[in-house]
Amino acid sequence: MLVLEGVSRRFGAKSAVEGVELSIERGSFIGVIGRSGAGKSTLLRMINRLIDPTSGRIALDDVDVSALRGKELREWRARCAMIFQQFNLVGRLDVLTNVLMGRLNKVPTHRSLMRLWSDEDIAIALTALEQFDMGSFAAQRADQLSGGQQQRVAIARALVQEPEIILADEPIASLDPRNTKLVMDSLSRINRDYGITVFCNLHSLDLARAYCGRLIGMSQGRVVFDGGPFDLTEDVARQLYGLEAGDVIDMPEEMPAAVVAAQAATPPVLAAH
């Protein structure tokens, strides 16, 4: 169980996250929703300690994550893989090497510096790529791939890290509808097949409802909604998004009619708890 107790973060006078209390079951697929600036990214980054809370406590089972330092903090970061909107691959390196980077915490430093990957690591990386239909791109430079392909490589890199938690910060924000579905399906599969807890910041309420087992709505740094996909009514959406609610819940900009139709034809599997 991941527990956040009174977690807050200030940037100068600005309160980005305020008094967040959450208990997250292992294996959940959590969608974090809310307007721009609501505190979603800050919340995710505090979980893997890219940003430190100003106050409060984050704990996984009996480990006080907020108190970790040095080697233990590096180990914690390896246990929660981040996926970013802009993929964060090394463009000049080939796809396979990018995925192998996810194994860095598993190999001795001298081997990782010389990029002496074992056959086992290479097999693990290739298997991960194949799971997301990216095996045939293994030798290609990462910067020659489309955005959707790069994001699937980033997901493979996160998976070979063997994390317990994946923190995906708007992973589909810059993708077209087809790649949006491929990437969300990939995250859903990781959650379902490996029992990895997934946190996913999303701007599309329809996608959040389709893929996530639990939705956490944030407004001005606070959690103002916490419920299942069917609890997210139009009223709740209006509270979260104000005047934008109708647009967001009916037909979000990033989800044209073609995707809605495609999703209706092949409904995604909702995350199991």
Ligand X SMILES: Nc1ncnc2c1ncn2[C@@H]1O[C@H](COP(=O)(O)OP(=O)(O)OP(=O)(O)O)[C@@H](O)[C@H]1O
Q: Which is nearer to ligand X, 16 or 89 (CB)?
A: 16
Q: Does 14 bind ligand X (CB under 6 A)?
A: yes
Q: Which is nearer to ligand X, 121 or 254 (CB)?
A: 254
| Binding track over 191-210 against ligand X, x by CB under 6 A | --------------------
To ligand X, the closest distance from the beta carbon of 34 in angstroms equals 6
Q: Does 143 bind ligand X (CB under 6 A)?
A: no
Find the largest Cα–Cα distance for the chain: 56
How many C-beta atoms lie closer than 10 Å to residue 251's C-beta?
Answer: 13
SS3 (DSSP) at 160: helix
To ligand X, the closest distance from the beta carbon of 31 in angstroms equals 13
Region of 213 please: left (phi>0), alpha (psi -120 to 50) or beta: alpha
Q: Which of 2, 4, 16, 30 binds ligand X (CB under 6 A)?
A: 16
To ligand X, the closest distance from the beta carbon of 69 in angstroms equals 21
Q: Does 13 bind ligand X (CB under 6 A)?
A: no
Amino acid at 173: A
| Contacts of ligand X in 53-72 (CB under 6 A) | none
User: H helices then E strands: how many in the chain?
Assistant: 11, 10
134 closest CA partner among 118, 119, 122, 151 = 151
Q: Which of 11, 133, 227, 242 binds ligand X (CB under 6 A)?
A: 11
Phi first, then psi, for residue 186 (nearest 5°) are: -65, -45
Q: Which is nearer to ligand X, 40 or 181 (CB)?
A: 40
Q: Does 253 bind ligand X (CB under 6 A)?
A: no
| Binding track over 27-46 against ligand X, x by CB under 6 A | -------x-xxxxxxx----
Phi first, then psi, for residue 201 (nearest 5°) are: -75, 125
Proportion of the chain in helix, strand, coil states, percent, rounded to 5: 45, 25, 30
**Site residues (vs ligand X, CB under 6 A):** 11, 14, 16, 34, 36-42
